[in-house]
Structure 1
């Protein structure tokens, strides 16, 4: 036997057939194929068997490759990933160049199975870089198609099974230290672009840059440092998490939930706008999608402009988002989808028929019986229509709220206190000498004029500037400083945003709420705030009502103290764990 081809696999039913077919079509036939499989749960083993491959038990890539060599009969060893395809004449060309050059170990150049310009340029650069540095030191940049002799493999003790990342680079360097290394010029492989699809262009570029830098400076890097995984840990479920990018509330809440999920599960995240910006700084597996945005003017929702703005982009956003999410899902193979009011996760659920769980505060509008004055019923109808269109028929609705109206369907709907960040729950509230003001729209100029007339100090966020004008101190957003100002505030003046209201209530801060007009979710939040006597709901601003609110803040503070209860997120964590176990 001339050459043994060794392929480590885990759930490679989508890619493995193409590689095995390309091997079968080679003119060179003095080879054997050994598939070292890490206990795949799909049809990988059946596919390998149908092509006549020898199958051995694998594990991590280093383990699989070593196990493959133990079963190998060839003089030469060729290590391939499952998502490559041999070009015509690859085996003959690779062996000829290897023998003629008197090499001890080599790797192959690569070309993408894609017509995307980024993929083409990045792979061309990778080939250039591999060849440019080959004379400096043996390296694993690329590491596709590692070819060596079996006696050299045995001489260095094979792949280091204690390494969970960079074991191929370590292997090449060990053999290359006392023999010749080269990037083959004629033998080339086609490679899939699934890594780019799964991790995004920025993510994959940063990982390769970081790993290559470590290699060339002689340092080891672990899989955890790069958030790299071969397959998935046994017993861990795989969850796709979609997050709405409107405002910051969805992102902040999702961050708390994702931190909990990652203790026992693998999580891949899709988010738009501000949610993507926030979550991509916290996690690696985050993909940016396009979302829907609301247009505000003078503290009022502009429905016509909102509709016009969003309908213009839907024909472009829909295919882009679904294509990205579908490709990532195919590779990730999720067991469950969780959506925090994210529209495209709902569509993916219908396409893939994977269980969907809704987790947000919005569905209190459709899944609970709420008392609403006649003047707001039209707004409620509009809001309910939007909420129903975003998420349809999930297996469960998990609703977070500081008010608990009757539930329509207790079998599917569960309600919990607001989800709060650990950072908020660790704050020690005091009663300082300022009132905190927060606005998500910088168009509420009337509020500022009124505050200037009131004999109190106001710290104001949301106007994107740092400035002091009389009794008004404007601050651009800094999370640590904002928390300090919130914890030491006498009271809070804000719109009807759920997250800040929840955080303020936890810190026992009375709230004066001016919800965005025609934004029913905020109106409902403010109505129940007033109903529970945690603060006041006002549609219009006036100096008298603000001064009256401030004079009554101790009364509201006592009501919050006796009425608002929180369990440090434990109930929703426990319920979510149970639901994941049930549905997966």
Structure 2
């Protein structure tokens, strides 16, 4: 049994959803302390139990406006948050963990605080995320076309985030040539609710959209001619609201999974988590990535290239009609996808963890 410090990026909920599965697996046989920021803290804190502690730290956040990352406002928000108490809070958490827990190994889901703790204390750090695909894999020109500059920036940011880890486990639904050592690709981590779901053919579209920048979206969806079950646009709701063929729903995890498993197709942004869940359940997806968020563009373009879905810069009636017309073709493409739960990634993590704790080499020279 080992003492593991597990860092989870708090920006968005995708990291927390994936980490919940891995943390539950590790906590069965090890002592695990989690450091996490943002909304992800509350999500993981609710699952705290024996041999598993969840600790709040301050973390970076991204400012979105009009379905686009706002770089300058993001910098201002994070500098202000750090000065107002973020860094002092992290320093306190640092000393508390040093005195009481004394980790032997660190696992980081694209989280900086835990990584820096590992480097400061000479501990092996294992990276588990989907983001490292940007930096540690080669991508063909057609995937990068029109976004080459954004790719180089994103690659530099991802590379600087967690350099020199003991091993990088990348969760991905696509296969790309691995370009760097100590790197392995694995099927995405899926939450138990998705693994337990049994896909059924349905007639409705599942729409998940948290950005309100496209004011024409409700009118565009009305033109779909089928029921659209919409999450995210009306966050104030406490019960369903029907407007013609649109059914606005307050968020409920159980109902969302039910609507996903019985959907004909999915319309959303470039969220990796929902994208992988749709692929696993063989539901075609139309992805509209957040502008200037290259990792979402990368995922969406692979989704399209593999014949699992479609992507567009913006959603309008023409794009929607074209997507709906292709559904039979996309369903055939998805029928080829197979995944044996989370077994492959968890088995690899156990192996890497054992080697790290034994003080063995990661298998390849460090670079």
Q: Could you state the TM-score of these two structures normalised by the residue count of structure 2?
A: 0.91
Residue matched to 1:446: 216
- 1:328 corresponds in structure 2 to 97
1:505 aligns with 2:279: yes
CA contact (8 A) 1:417 1:565 kept: no
Once residues 134 and 87 of structure 2 are traced to their aligned partners in structure 1, the CA distance between those partners, rounded to angstroms, is 26
Residue 3 (structure 2) pairs with residue 238 (structure 1): yes
CA contact 2:208–2:268 (8 Å) conserved in 1: yes
Q: CA offsets, 1:414-437, max 9 Å, x none?
A: 110000012111111111121000
Within the candidate set 154, 157, 160, 1:383 is matched to 154
Taking the TM superposition and a 5 Å limit, the aligned residue runs for 1:71-220 are none
Answering whether residue 108 of structure 2 is matched by residue 343 of structure 1, we say no
Is 1:292 the counterpart of 2:65? The answer is: no
2:18 is equivalent to residue 253 of structure 1: yes
Note the C-alpha offset of 1:318.
2.5
Distance 1:374 1:485 in 2: 34
- Provide the C-alpha distance between the structure 2 equivalents of 1:373 and 1:258, rounded to a whole number of angstroms: 34
8 A Cα contact 1:513 1:536, kept in partner: yes
Higher RCO (CA 8 Å, separation ≥ 6 residues): 2
Q: CA, structure 1 residues 349+552, in 2 after alignment: closer, same or farther (shift >3 Å)?
A: same
Alpha-carbon distance in 2 for matches of 1:321, 1:545: 45
1:433–1:490: 8 Å Cα contact kept in structure 2? yes
Tell me which residue corresponds to 1:404: 175
Is the contact between residue 322 and residue 348 of structure 1 (CA under 8 Å) also seen in structure 2? no
- Deviation string 1:45-101 (CA, Å, 9 cap, x unpaired) is xxxxxxxxxxxxxxxxxxxxxxxxxxxxxxxxxxxxxxxxxxxxxxxxxxxxxxxxx
Q: What SS is found at the alignment partner of 1:493?
A: strand
Note the C-alpha offset of 1:374: 4.2
CA drift at 1:262? 1.2
Maintained 8 Å contact 2:144/2:151:
no
Partner secondary structure for residue 169 of structure 2: strand
Deviations, residues 395-442 of structure 1 (Å, cap 9, x unaligned): 111100001110012x40011000001211111111112100012334
Decide which structure has the larger Cα Rg and report it: 1
**Residues 276-303 of structure 1: per-residue CA shift (max 9 Å, x gap):** 0100001141011111111111111111
* CA distance in 2: counterparts of 1:536 and 1:437, whole angstroms: 14
- Indicate the SS of the match to 2:160: helix
Compute the RMSD of aligned alpha carbons. 1.4
Q: Return the alpha-carbon distance in structure 1 between the equivalents of residues 144 and 295 of structure 2.
A: 14
Distance in 1, Cα, partners of 2:91 & 2:278: 37
For residue 382 of structure 1, report the CA deviation from its aligned partner. Answer: 2.3
Question: Which residue of the partner structure matches residue 117 of structure 1?
Answer: none
Paired residue secondary structure (1:375): coil
Structure 2 gaps, min length 5: 358-367
Alignment pair present for 1:567 and 2:332? no
CA contact under 8 A between 1:326 and 1:348: conserved in structure 2? no
1:312 and 2:80 matched: yes
Question: Which of the residues 468, 478, 485 maps onto 2:242?
Answer: 468
Residue 558 of structure 1, CA deviation: 1.1
Per the alignment, residue 263 of structure 2 pairs with 489
Q: Deviating runs (4+, > 3 A) in structure 1?
A: none
CA pair 444-352 structure 1, distance change in 2 beyond 3 A = farther
Deviation at 1:498, TM superposition (A): 0.4
1:419 is matched with 189
Shift of 1:448: 2.3
Q: Distance in 2 between matches of 1:442 and 1:262?
A: 39
Tell me which residue corresponds to 2:71. 303
**Who is 1:94 aligned against?**
none
1:139 alignment partner in structure 2: none
Please point out which of 353, 361, 364 is paired with 2:130.
361
- What per-residue deviation string (whole Å, max 9, x for no partner) do you get for residues 341-390 of structure 1? 11111211121111101100000000000124342112112222322232
Map of 2:326 onto structure 1: 552
Q: TM-score, normalised by structure 1?
A: 0.58
Tell me, what secondary structure is at the counterpart of 1:259? helix
- Larger displacement relative to structure 2 (523-532 or 386-395): 386-395
